[in-house]
């Protein structure tokens, strides 16, 4: 069987594809797992990962013509990750609307036009929650996004819900916590500092903390998120029922706690590389995001969070020995 990963050259895209290729089996319950014939990774550029079953298709998700050519007779599933992330969508309204909203709509329409029920996993975000929130965000808390990115993600979820209700696709949306530690270069996400303050000092480079150290965030590791994305895609439609959007489990961590974990793993010298300097633009966005969730529904559906933040840092060290210096 064939599947499509949009944003397949991106951070989570590459990790999902690596996991799929490692398992070489796509489980779309209630059916038994089937061998993967081919994966099309759709993105504006090719990714680093290479495999005989992996094909990069370079294009723009906002162009419906390019999307049509992506589908095969045996395309059974799509992981839709292509997006411009929070900082970029906030800085460039038109780009965010075009990629995050128009691109999602075109993808849904193209999947619908195949005339069979394709399973589609949509990467939403906890940025759908913002503003005047309860102390604990629960499954039934109404999203109130405060930025263009969160609005675009919420509309995307609603489209996935309605296309599913109408029987056009078998859709499911997951609201992903902030993923830390993100390897490589910083991207346009306003939340990027949460990774920078761990990754950069581990590599012997300075990092800026642009928010108050008491600022709490809802986070999950790449490993945990990829496992949860695979689970979300695999679950039978009956496990989802009517509501097709879910808050994924994560950890609440203050930046102070994150830095304590950095110190526990890499010592005082790594910690000394982090400088606190407030950035009002980042503060404005991050302070509207939710940091405490009760994810009872997801836990009951078998999604699982990381153990604790130090384990996230240690997993990063294990996965990226090349990105470390001795402290």
- 66 lines the binding site for ligand NAD (CB under 6 A): no
- 43 lines the binding site for ligand NAD (CB under 6 A): yes
What secondary structure, in 3-state letters, does the chain show?
CEEEEECCCCHHHHHHHHHHHHHCEECCCCCCCEECCEEEEEECCCCCCCCCCEEEEECCCCCHHHHHCCCCCCEEEEEECCCCCHHHHHHCHHHHHHHHHHHHHHHHHHHHCCCCCEEEEEEEEHHHCECCCCCCECCCCCCCCCCHHHHHHHHHHHHHHHHHHCCCEEEEEEEECEECCCCCCCCCCHHHHHHHHHHHHHCCCCEEECCCCCCEEEEECHHHHHHHHHHHHHCCHHHHCCCCEEECCCEEEEHHHHHHHHHHHHCHHHHCCEEECCCHHHHHHHCCECCCECCHHHHHCCCCCCCCHHHHHHHHHHHCHHHCCCC
Site stretch for ligand NAD (CB under 6 A), options 22-30, 80-88, 210-218, 277-285: 80-88
Q: How far is the CB of 146 from ligand NAD (least distance, A)?
A: 15
CA distance 59 to 103: 11
- 10 lines the binding site for ligand NAD (CB under 6 A): yes
Which of 13, 143, 145, 147 contacts ligand NAD by CB under 6 A?
Answer: 13
- 198 lines the binding site for ligand NAD (CB under 6 A): no
Which of 26, 41, 54, 85 contacts ligand NAD by CB under 6 A?
Answer: 85
Catalytic residue among 56, 122, 149, 154, which? 149
- 285 lines the binding site for ligand NAD (CB under 6 A): no
- 121 lines the binding site for ligand NAD (CB under 6 A): no
Q: How far is the CB of 65 from ligand NAD (least distance, A)?
A: 13
Which of 26, 36, 54, 61 contacts ligand NAD by CB under 6 A?
Answer: 61
CA distance 204 to 50: 30
Residues 19-38 binding ligand NAD (CB under 6 A) are: none
Hunting for tokens 């994924």 — which residue is that? 248
Give the binding-site size for ligand NAD (rule: CB under 6 A): 24
Residues 146-185 binding ligand NAD (CB under 6 A) are: 176, 178-179
Which of 40, 104, 110, 125 contacts ligand NAD by CB under 6 A?
Answer: 125
Which of 2, 5, 7, 247 contacts ligand NAD by CB under 6 A?
Answer: 7
- 305 lines the binding site for ligand NAD (CB under 6 A): no
Nearer to ligand NAD, 36 or 84 (CB): 84
| Residue 149 a catalytic site member | yes
Nearer to ligand NAD, 73 or 94 (CB): 94
| Burial of 16 per CB tally in 10 Å (0-12, 13-18, 19+) | buried
- 92 lines the binding site for ligand NAD (CB under 6 A): no
Report phi then psi at 273, rounded to 5: -80, -5
- 118 lines the binding site for ligand NAD (CB under 6 A): no
Which of 4, 5, 9, 79 contacts ligand NAD by CB under 6 A?
Answer: 9
Catalytic residue positions?
149
- Chain residues binding ligand NAD by CB under 6 A are 7, 9-13, 43-44, 60-62, 81-85, 99, 103, 123, 125, 176, 178-179, 187
């Amino acid at each position: 069987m064939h599947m499509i990963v949009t944003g397949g050259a991106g951070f989570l895209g590459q990790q999902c594809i690596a996991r799929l290729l490692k398992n070489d089996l796509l489980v779309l319950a209630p059916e038994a797992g089937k061998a993967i014939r081919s994966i099309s990774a759709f993105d504006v550029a090719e990714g680093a990962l290479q495999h005989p079953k992996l094909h990069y298709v370079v294009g723009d998700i906002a162009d419906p013509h390019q999307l049509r050519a992506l589908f095969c007779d045996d395309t059974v599933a799509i992981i839709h990750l292509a997006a411009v992330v929070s900082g970029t969508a906030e800085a460039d309204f038109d780009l965010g609307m075009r990629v995050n909203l128009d691109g999602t709509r075109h993808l849904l329409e193209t999947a619908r036009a195949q005339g069979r029920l394709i399973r589609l996993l949509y990467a939403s975000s906890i940025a759908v929650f913002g503003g005047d929130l309860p102390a604990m965000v629960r499954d039934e808390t109404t999203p109130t996004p405060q930025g263009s990115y969160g609005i675009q993600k919420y509309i995307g979820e609603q489209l996935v819900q309605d296309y599913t209700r109408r029987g056009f696709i078998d859709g499911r949306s997951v609201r992903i916590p902030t993923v830390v530690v993100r390897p490589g270069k910083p991207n346009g996400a306003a939340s990027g500092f949460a990774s920078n303050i761990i990754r950069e000092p581990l590599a012997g480079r300075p990092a800026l903390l642009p928010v108050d150290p008491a600022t709490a965030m809802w986070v999950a590791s790449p490993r945990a998120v990829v496992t949860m994305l695979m689970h979300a895609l695999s679950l039978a439609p009956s496990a989802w029922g009517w509501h097709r959007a879910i808050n994924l489990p994560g950890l609440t961590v203050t930046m102070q706690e994150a830095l304590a974990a950095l110190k526990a793993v890499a010592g005082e010298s790594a910690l000394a590389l982090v400088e606190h300097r407030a950035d009002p633009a980042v503060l404005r966005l991050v302070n509207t995001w939710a940091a405490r969730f009760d994810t009872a529904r997801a836990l009951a559906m078998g999604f699982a969070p990381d153990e604790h933040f130090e384990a996230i840092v240690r997993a990063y060290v294990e996965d990226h020995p090349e990105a470390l210096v001795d402290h």
